Amino acid sequence: MEGKPQATDIKCVPCDGNNMQCCLELLRFYPKGIQLKWSSGTGSLKDVPFEVHEMGEAAGFSIRSMCVINEEALTDPNYKIRVTWEHSSLDDPEYKEISVTDPAFPGRPDLQDILVPTLIHGKEVSLQCQVSGYFPKELKVEWLRMERGSDARLTTQGNAESTVWKQDITDCRHEPEIGHSCTAWLTFTPDLHRDQGSEIICRVSHPSLQRALEKTTGMLTVLVCKGREYSKAPDRLKDALKRKCPEEDDDPPAAKSSQRVGKSSVKVAEVNGERETPKQRQQTSSRVKKPLGASTAVAEQDALVEEIHAARTGGRRGDVSNARVALGDKEDALMTLVEKVLAQVVLQFKEEHGLGSNDLSSSGILHRDQKSK
């Protein structure tokens, strides 16, 4: 009675050093005698050293065979590893083989999403993308960019802007049974005109990949800090954007409140045509009441500003397309609330000072349309 050997697939696992261990099992064959060899290479394969260990089986005989391949050989996508066996139950020798481009090869890199911090015009930032689980060590990382409204992919190195885009790879390490890993970085200074609406892509090439892997940031949003104005920044959102730059906001809340009260008092004094004493100015300021419903409108305005900022800076972590659609509606709602507050302030001022509609221009308080003219 004879039993043909049943072969498992070749399993490859990164091991200590810069080597990969390959293993195959032949199960439940009879009689015991069997011949086996490992070979590898490109084109003509050469024999490589291997080990054979017997396995206890209730039915027939079984063996496990292993060989070790250096990772330098695996940098060639055409490099193959083959194991061949002969047995009295077989008419011809049988074999199995594997290469780094086979789907079963375990050394394919895993590319994580790009981590994008808040982008502020003129402030240097770094994007990072982690790559893990690849073998052999050879890896190529490229950072590309697509300008707004274009599908063309531009490299960030080897061109006139190479000093603007700084690339680096850090945290390179090797772990047995896992492989190599590293973190790729792209450091640059965001520019509102160049980068608003553009995309940045991290592309990874490896001998185990027939096509490179890519991750994208999605459309970038560049914020404008307090004290700076740019033509491409939406005018109606400048104030909202300025409020979201705490690194340039050095005034404590108490100082800001004092500044706002002071400015309101000076305006009232100028409307009356004279400079009031500090005591009179304090009394006048206390008589200026907050318009009916203004606090509610301001609270709604602040809530909308927060939602707009969340849609701009947090969209990449959620549904970006829905965030962009909602952003336009929230901006319009914000402007409506601002106009509502201004109208209530003017109405309250008229009632307290007994002014008619024709007296507004002489009092120094103008509607937005009149002032623009």
Domain ranges of the chain: 6-99, 110-223, 246-372
Per-residue confidence (pLDDT) for residue 321, from 0 to 100: 45
Per-residue confidence (pLDDT) for residue 257, from 0 to 100: 39
Residue 238 phi/psi, 5-degree rounding, is -60, -45
Per-residue confidence (pLDDT) for residue 11, from 0 to 100: 94
Run means of pLDDT, 10 residues per run, the chain, 373 residues? 89 87 94 94 91 82 94 92 95 94 91 96 95 94 92 71 81 91 95 94 95 96 70 45 45 40 36 47 46 50 60 48 54 70 76 63 43 41
Q: What is the pTM of this model?
A: 0.58
The three-class DSSP label of residue 346 is helix
Q: Do domains 6-99 and 110-223 have the same CATH topology?
A: yes
CA distance 27 to 170: 45
Hey, which bits of 49-152 come out as E strands? Answer: 51-55, 61-70, 80-87, 94-99, 110-111, 119-120, 125-134, 140-146
DSSP string covering 255-282: HHHHHHHHHHHHHHHHHTTSPPPHHHHH
Per-residue confidence (pLDDT) for residue 40, from 0 to 100: 95
CATH fold of the domain at 6-99: Immunoglobulin-like (2.60.40)
- Residue whose pair of structure tokens reads 């400079």 in the numeric block: 275
CATH fold of the domain at 110-223: Immunoglobulin-like (2.60.40)
Per-residue confidence (pLDDT) for residue 240, from 0 to 100: 44
Per-residue confidence (pLDDT) for residue 236, from 0 to 100: 42
Per-residue confidence (pLDDT) for residue 79, from 0 to 100: 93
